Every structure is written in structure tokens, then in C-alpha cells.
Amino acid sequence: MKVIKAELEKVAVHEEQYPPEDIYEFAFAGRSNVGKSSFINAMLNRKNLARTSSTPGKTRTINFYRVNDDLRLVDLPGYGYAKVSKSEKSTWSGIINEYLEVRENLLEVILLVDIRHEPTAQDLQMFEYIIDSGYSGIVIATKADKISRGQYSKHVSTIAKKLGIKNKDMIIPFSSEKKDLVEEMWEIFEDIVKH
């Protein structure tokens, strides 16, 4: 798909601030610093429309990116960032849970994990929620440029095992630096919209 128009439509914390449920949404969940905002930038072919940072905890709101006035990519706040207070952590999970529970036009929730690391207990919890909610269970293994291609399958197996995924094709190694799979990812998303 060619991205002709991409804009940050809305920055929200609670339901009353969300944009209308008029077009489908794909939401991206994962640990802080895993590369959610970078993934969205790569998909939109924009350098820093979704603000990224090497400091974890950058995205603390739900950011709705409207693409071609046709669908939205939704950047969720990252979880698992150690250096925030307990109350702040529960606020974050509240923000994510509220969105996941109420959003009727949410077509997929896609989990991002770092290809180099075994998923955490929180990743597993998020993934189980995704499966229990009836979503496809696509996992994007980020920062794929940090390992060699020859190592992909070993790392994908570790992720599959931890998350209980039988079909390893559901785990897609992706590099927001190389951006080589952007077109394929759009095809996957478009197929989901059509079905």
C-alpha cells in the first residue's frame, strides 16, 4: 500500500479523547523501548512522526495515526519500564486496558518483542490477552538488524516457545532501520482489513 497521507490525528489518555470509531485500527503493544514508535514511522515512511527515543517510556499516551483517511495505526504506551513508580505503572496499564476493552473498531492488536530477548512475563500476559480476545496473534520481532539472518530461526523459536506459538510464521522479524519488509507488512494488514 502506498502511504499518501499520514497524520497524528489524536493523542489520548481516556475514552472520551479517542477519535471516532469510523475506520479500522491496528494497535501496537509491547515493552517500553521495543520499537513500537519506530515501527509506525517505518510503516508510514516518516522519520519521526511517531516520536522515538533511546530513553524508555517515551510514549505515555495513546497516539492515533491516521493513514490515507482509511485506517489508523495506534501507538500504545510501552509497559515494563522499571524506572517509574508503582502508581505510574498502574496508570499506564489502566490506559492500555481501557483502550483494549472499549474499542469496537480495533481490528488487531499486534505484539512487538525484541528479537534478541526472550519475551517477559508481561509480554506473555499481553499475548494471552490478544489470543483470548480473538485477534490473530501476529508478533513483530523488532530490531532484526541487530542479529544476522542466520540467527533468525533460533531467536524466533525462543519467542515462539515462550509465547506458546505453534505456527512460527506468525512471528515476523522486522527492522525499522532497514525497512525492507514494510510493503509485506502492509499487505498483511490489508488482507486482514479485507476479510
CB of 55 to ligand GTP, least distance (A): 7
In the bound state with ligand GTP, the residue whose beta carbon lies nearer, of 18 and 39, is 39
φ, ψ of residue 63 to 5 degrees: the values are -110, 125
CB of 107 to ligand GTP, least distance (A): 20
Taking CB atoms, the residue at the shortest distance from ligand GTP is: 78
CA 41/CA 94 separation, integer angstroms: 25
63 part of the interface to ligand GTP, by CB under 6 A: no
Q: Pick the binder of ligand GTP from 109, 130, 139, 175 (CB under 6 A).
A: 175
In the bound state with ligand GTP, the residue whose beta carbon lies nearer, of 149 and 195, is 149
**Which one of Mg ion, ligand GTP, none is in contact with 66 (Cβ closer than 5 to 8 A by kind)?**
none
56 part of the interface to ligand GTP, by CB under 6 A: yes
CB of 22 to ligand GTP, least distance (A): 26
**Which one of ligand GTP, Mg ion, none is in contact with 63 (Cβ closer than 5 to 8 A by kind)?**
none
45 part of the interface to ligand GTP, by CB under 6 A: no
CB of 159 to ligand GTP, least distance (A): 15
Interacting positions 75-94 with ligand GTP (CB under 6 A): 78
Let me know: does 67 contact 112? Beta carbons within 8 Å: no
Report the 3 state secondary structure along the chain: CCCCCEEEEEEECCHHHCCCCCCEEEEEEEECCCCHHHHHHHHHCCCCCCCCCCCCCCCCCEEEEEECCCEEEEECCCECCCCCCHHHHHHHHHHHHHHHHHCCCEEEEEEEEECCCCCCHHHHHHHHHHHHCCCCCCEEEECHHHCCHHHHHHHHHHHHHHHCCCCHHHEEECCCCCCCCHHHHHHHHHHHHHC
CA 13/CA 77 separation, integer angstroms: 10
Q: Which stretch binds ligand GTP (CB under 6 A): 47-55, 93-101, 103-111, 156-164?
A: 47-55
**Using CB under 6 A as the criterion, which residues of the chain lie in contact with ligand GTP when the complex forms?**
30, 32-38, 52-54, 56-59, 78, 142-143, 145-146, 175-177
